């Protein structure tokens, strides 16, 4: 297939991962609409054509970070002091959330998304729930915080799917009522799902940004209001994400109030389906796994966060075998490294099962690329082929971590040896965002991170 349109730029890829194998010497043409116009391999592509920009190393489709809370980046290291649980970690998170303003959130998210670009991420799913001022008072623009995130992604040069999140309650009471939000949670809540839907409907997609929906969890959205959020997403054919069975306490509360698991409750209210992604999906029953797979509801695993918070190891192998597509996220940003997330999913399973090789390197890269982009509403991304978005990233094959491996085993090298530090180039819509390991739009990303995080400490 060749896309019509003027060829804006030509890249020559020393090695490229094409989904099933690594191909040496690939010429990639970018059309003026920011899509791949043509991909040429084989005879004639062994050397760079005249005028082509040369990318040495292994080029992959851009990585998709399917689950992010940008402000959690400010918690890195601070929450590693001492011991505790998910629930004590949450107290630290609330303190950071209380200090956010549209201006400070823009500055932090801009730096965080730049860090993602440096890690080869070209698209982020931002699970966004800090909507209002402290105390729950709306800003003059009720979507000021969401707009700050969208603009931050634009300035960092990556795509975003803003998963605007319904977060209405502190816990489960019954079918119709949740526990009133605590003082920290007031700025997350719109009061009702109908009010949430009215506010989020004012957000508009743009070239680099899509608008999706999220249900924070069954503990944060009363059961009787789940269908409102699901209907909003269905009417717009938008992605819908939900934290699902991350903690056993959530399962216990749901069973006590509703006599069913969170997965079964979501199914009852029309939440599951092929545009829905459950995040974590850690503590599931056999029936839950069958429901998620049977409805082709996706699963976003966030291994570095799940192990950091001692959540547990989710049944990713069984979910995929049941029919649930897998994607990956960095969630709380204990680290931002999608290669580590892919590696951790396999290695966690090895520890749990005491057997090796649950996924091939190709399958893990597919979760980090094509299936992640699809979960974020961009099925036209995540592949190096004509017609796809010209979003890709290049990993060094000559670093201290990657040197010596056979180029044809580049997928294995990327997943099981490389890290985000090995990313040399990131290209979005055919435009260099990261060149030779440096961000092209934000001159000093570490300083931008340090300053934004320091500002939140007051």
- How many helices and strands in the chain, by DSSP H and E? 15, 18
Residue 98 sits at φ, ψ, to 5 deg, of -65, -25
Per DSSP, 421 falls in state: G
**Burial bucket for residue 135 (CB in 10 Å: 0-12, 13-18, 19+):** exposed
Please pick, among 67, 72, 241, 280, the residue that the annotation labels catalytic.
280
**Burial bucket for residue 258 (CB in 10 Å: 0-12, 13-18, 19+):** middle
Q: By three-state DSSP, how is residue 124 classified?
A: strand
Per DSSP, 273 falls in state: S
What is the H or E stretch that residue 150 is in? helix 144-156
Taking the alpha carbons at both ends of the chain, their separation in whole angstroms is 55
> Is residue 131 annotated as part of the catalytic site, yes or no?
no
Q: Mark out the alpha helices in 243-337 (DSSP H runs).
A: 248-258, 262-268, 286-294, 303-308, 316-322
Question: Are the CB atoms for 111 and 76 separated by under 8 Å?
Answer: no
> Is residue 331 annotated as part of the catalytic site, yes or no?
yes
Please pick, among 331, 337, 371, 391, the residue that the annotation labels catalytic.
331
Cα-based angle 237, 195, 154 (whole degrees, multiple of 5)? 55
Residues acting as catalytic residues = 280, 331
């Amino acid at each position: 297939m060749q896309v019509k349109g003027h060829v804006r730029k030509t890249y020559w890829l020393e090695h490229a991962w094409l989904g099933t194998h690594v191909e040496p010497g690939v010429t990639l043409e970018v059309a003026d609409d920011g899509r791949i116009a043509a991909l040429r391999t084989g005879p004639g592509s062994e050397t760079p054509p005249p005028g082509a920009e040369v990318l040495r190393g292994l080029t992959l489709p851009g990585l998709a970070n399917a689950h992010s809370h940008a402000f959690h980046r400010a918690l890195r290291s601070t929450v590693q002091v001492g011991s505790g649980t998910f629930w004590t970690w949450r107290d630290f998170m609330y303190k950071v959330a209380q200090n956010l303003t549209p201006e400070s959130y823009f500055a932090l998210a801009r730096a965080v998304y730049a860090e993602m670009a440096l890690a080869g991420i070209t698209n982020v799913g931002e699970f966004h729930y800090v909507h209002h001022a402290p105390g729950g008072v709306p800003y003059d623009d009720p979507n000021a915080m969401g707009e700050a995130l969208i603009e931050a992604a634009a300035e960092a040069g990556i795509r975003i799917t803003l998963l605007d999140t319904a977060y209405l309650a502190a816990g489960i009471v019954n079918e119709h009522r949740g526990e009133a939000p605590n003082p920290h949670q007031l700025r997350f809540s719109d009061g009702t799902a109908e009010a949430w839907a009215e506010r989020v409907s004012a957000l508009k997609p743009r070239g680099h940004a899509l608008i999706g929906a999220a249900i924070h969890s069954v503990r944060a959205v009363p059961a009787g209001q789940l269908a409102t959020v699901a209907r909003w997403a269905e009417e717009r054919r938008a992605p819908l994400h939900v934290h699902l069975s991350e903690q056993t306490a959530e399962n216990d509360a749901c069973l006590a109030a509703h006599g069913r698991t969170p997965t079964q409750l979501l199914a009852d209210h029309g939440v599951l389906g092929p545009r829905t992604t459950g995040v974590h999906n850690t503590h599931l029953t056999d029936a839950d796994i069958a429901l998620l797979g049977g409805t082709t509801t996706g699963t976003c695993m966030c291994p570095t966060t799940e192990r950091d918070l001692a959540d547990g190891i989710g049944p990713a192998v069984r979910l995929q075998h049941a029919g649930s597509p897998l994607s990956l996220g960095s969630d709380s940003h204990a680290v931002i490294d999608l290669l580590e997330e892919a590696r951790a999913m396999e290695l966690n399973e090895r520890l749990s099962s005491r057997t090796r090789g649950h996924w091939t390197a190709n399958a893990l890269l597919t979760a980090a690329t094509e299936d992640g982009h699809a979960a974020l509403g961009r099925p036209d991304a995540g592949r190096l082929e004509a017609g796809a978005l010209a979003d890709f990233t290049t990993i060094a094959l000559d670093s201290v971590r990657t040197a010596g491996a056979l180029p044809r085993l580049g997928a294995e090298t990327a997943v099981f040896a490389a890290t985000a530090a090995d990313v040399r180039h990131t290209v979005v819509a055919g435009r260099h965002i990261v060149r030779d390991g440096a961000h092209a739009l934000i001159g000093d990303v570490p300083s931008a991170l340090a300053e934004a995080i320091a500002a939140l400490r007051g």
